[in-house]
Amino acid sequence: MTKSTKNDLKKRALLAVRDYGVNLTLFRNAMNEWAGLNATDMECLGFLFQKDTASPSEIARQTGLTSGATTAMLDRLEGAGLIERRPNPNDRRGTLITPAKSAAEKAASWFESARNAQAELISSYSESELEIISDVFERFAKLWQEEREKIRKDK
């Protein structure tokens, strides 16, 4: 058996990262279709689960939607019982968006199988391997954030 060179391992790692991204996107697309939502609806929900409360303009910036498209998306999510609109206490003309109380439980149930599979997979690694895995994903997350910011500046 021949030993892999560093170049071979770099290629393998980058292909694995690419395949991870592709397969995650395909999983999300399947989940969106199953849940009856589109990718931007799910992105909005994820953003709200992280932030808890946001204005429609914050959601528009996060998703890249126009104000009209954001309103239509929020109407869909509200109709599905996933978000609530509340008056903004700091701006009587404004609205704040929060996840509906049942939204977290509903969304958690959608991803239960995937969470269990992830937990099983990640448990198979040693502490030192987990440090490396964490470092790689944290660095890639930062890399993609920086690349996204470069694109926005070049617009």
Render pLDDT for 31-70 as a digit per residue (tens, 0 to 9): 888 888 888 998 999 899 999 999 999 999 999 899 999 9
Whole-angstrom Cα distance, residue 56 to residue 36? Answer: 22
Specify the amino acid at residue 54.
Answer: A
Q: Is residue 61 part of a domain?
A: yes
Whole-angstrom Cα distance, residue 42 to residue 72? Answer: 14
- Can you give the pLDDT at residue 1? 61
Kindly give the residue spans of alpha helices, DSSP state H, lying in the chain.
6-35, 39-51, 56-63, 67-79, 103-110, 112-123, 127-154
Q: Is residue 77 part of a domain?
A: yes
Range of the domain at 26: 18-101
Q: Is residue 97 part of a domain?
A: yes
Backbone φ and ψ for 44, nearest 5 degrees, come out as -65, -45
Whole-angstrom Cα distance, residue 27 to residue 44? Answer: 17
Q: Is residue 118 part of a domain?
A: no
For the segment 135-155, the average pLDDT, to the nearest whole number, is: 90
Rounded to two decimals, what is the model's pTM?
A: 0.69
Q: Is residue 124 part of a domain?
A: no
Work out how many domains the chain is built from and give that number.
Answer: 1
Whole-angstrom Cα distance, residue 62 to residue 12? Answer: 33
Q: Is residue 25 part of a domain?
A: yes
Q: What is the CATH number of the domain that holds 89?
A: 1.10.10.10
Q: Is residue 36 part of a domain?
A: yes
